[in-house]
């Protein structure tokens, strides 16, 4: 998801997105531990996506929205 698409979401949607991404990250890490992971780079992509969403949330907090 691009940063512009993330900025178009509401704060509540962003918080739900972070929760979903964290669940997916847990699932991917669990698959890695059990040697069932197809693409290990997906973990890095999920972590970057979480960081993008958290950055937008923080920007909104600093602006006072």
What is the pLDDT at residue 1? 82
- Return per-residue pLDDT of the chain as tens, 65 residues: 899 999 999 999 999 999 999 999 999 999 999 988 889 999 999 999 999 999 999 999 999 87
Structural domain for 21, as ranges? 3-63
The model carries a pTM of: 0.90
CATH number at residue 54: 1.10.287.310
* Domain count within the chain: 1
25: burial class by Cβ within 10 Å (0-12, 13-18, 19+)? middle
pLDDT computed for residue 37 by the predictor = 85
Tokens linked to 48: 């970057």
């Amino acid at each position: 998801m691009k940063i512009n698409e993330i900025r178009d979401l509401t704060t509540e949607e962003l918080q739900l997105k972070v929760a979903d991404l964290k669940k997916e990250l847990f699932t991917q890490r669990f698959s890695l531990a059990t040697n069932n992971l197809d693409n290990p780079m997906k973990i890095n992509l999920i972590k970057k996506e979480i960081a993008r969403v958290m950055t937008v949330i923080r920007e909104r907090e600093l602006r006072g929205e």
